């Protein structure tokens, strides 16, 4: 891939207030390096999602200043936007520890845009007391992002307990009929809690950008 093949959206931050994200899973380290160099030359930030440890090591040899966030499976290049406390805080929650990678993708994407964040892990509804014990902390957030696999119940429960916007991320975790997140997606879409917002399976970055849009228009 050369710069003519990669049609980068260099005006996205000015137009939408969002840094362009690069999908890293199906690109080579050389292709990603080429994109990063282009963004750097234009003084744009870079966020690359879905990057394996092996690919990150290869990329580090080509662009030494990249930072690999191994738990989030993301790469950043440049300096994050300064935190803007006036926009409020987003809390990212998970039903279980298997959801953490996607949750951290969402959390990193928000921090990269200067959003204050907090994470609360492993409070799934199979032990409802865990969620209820965090409720006072959760109520302080401006927006909530809830990650859940299996039947995907956590966002529904949250949306029935608190008034803030709740964004559900179905996670591709679960046995048999969980169908790699399809059961969680269907359950969230069919939720009886009014106003629950749902993004696609494992779409941490998309959930983060939905939260960012909400924050920017509600300030």
Domain ranges of the chain: 12-77, 85-218
* Residue in the structure block whose two tokens are 């409020």: 88
- Per-residue model confidence as pLDDT tens digits over 100-155: 999 999 999 999 999 999 999 999 888 899 999 999 999 999 999 999 999 999 99
- Per-residue model confidence as pLDDT tens digits over 3-39: 445 677 666 777 887 888 899 999 999 999 999 988 8
**What is the rounded distance in angstroms from the CA atom of residue 147 to the CA atom of residue 133?**
18
In sequence order, the 6+-apart residues with CB closer than 8 A to the CB of 47 are: 19, 20, 21, 22, 74, 75, 76, 108, 109, 112, 205
Q: What is the CATH code for 85-218?
A: 3.40.50.1970
Does position 1 have pLDDT exceeding 50, yes or no? no
45 pLDDT tier (thresholds 50, 70, 90):
confident
- Per-residue model confidence as pLDDT tens digits over 157-176: 999 999 999 999 999 988 99
């Amino acid at each position: 891939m050369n710069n003519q093949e990669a049609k980068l959206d260099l005006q996205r931050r000015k137009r939408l207030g969002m840094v362009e994200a690069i999908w890293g899973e199906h690109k080579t380290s050389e292709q990603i390096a080429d994109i990063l160099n282009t963004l750097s030359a234009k003084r744009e930030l870079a966020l690359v999602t879905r990057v394996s440890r092996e690919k990150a090591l290869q990329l580090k040899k080509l662009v030494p200043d990249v930072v690999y966030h191994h738990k989030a499976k993301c790469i950043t290049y440049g300096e994050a936007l300064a935190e803007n406390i006036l926009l409020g805080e987003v809390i990212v929650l998970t039903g279980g520890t298997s959801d953490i990678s996607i949750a951290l993708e969402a959390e990193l994407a928000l921090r990269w845009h200067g959003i204050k964040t907090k994470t609360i892990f492993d409070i799934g509804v199979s032990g409802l007391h865990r969620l209820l014990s965090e409720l006072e902390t959760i109520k302080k957030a401006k927006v909530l992002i809830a990650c859940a696999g299996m039947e995907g119940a956590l966002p529904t429960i949250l949306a029935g307990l608190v008034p803030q916007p709740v964004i559900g991320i179905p996670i591709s975790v679960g046995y048999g009929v969980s169908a790699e997140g399809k059961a969680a997606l269907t359950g969230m879409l069919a939720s009886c809690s009014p106003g629950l917002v749902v993004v696609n399976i494992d779409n941490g970055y998309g959930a983060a950008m939905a939260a960012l849009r909400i924050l920017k228009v509600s300030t």
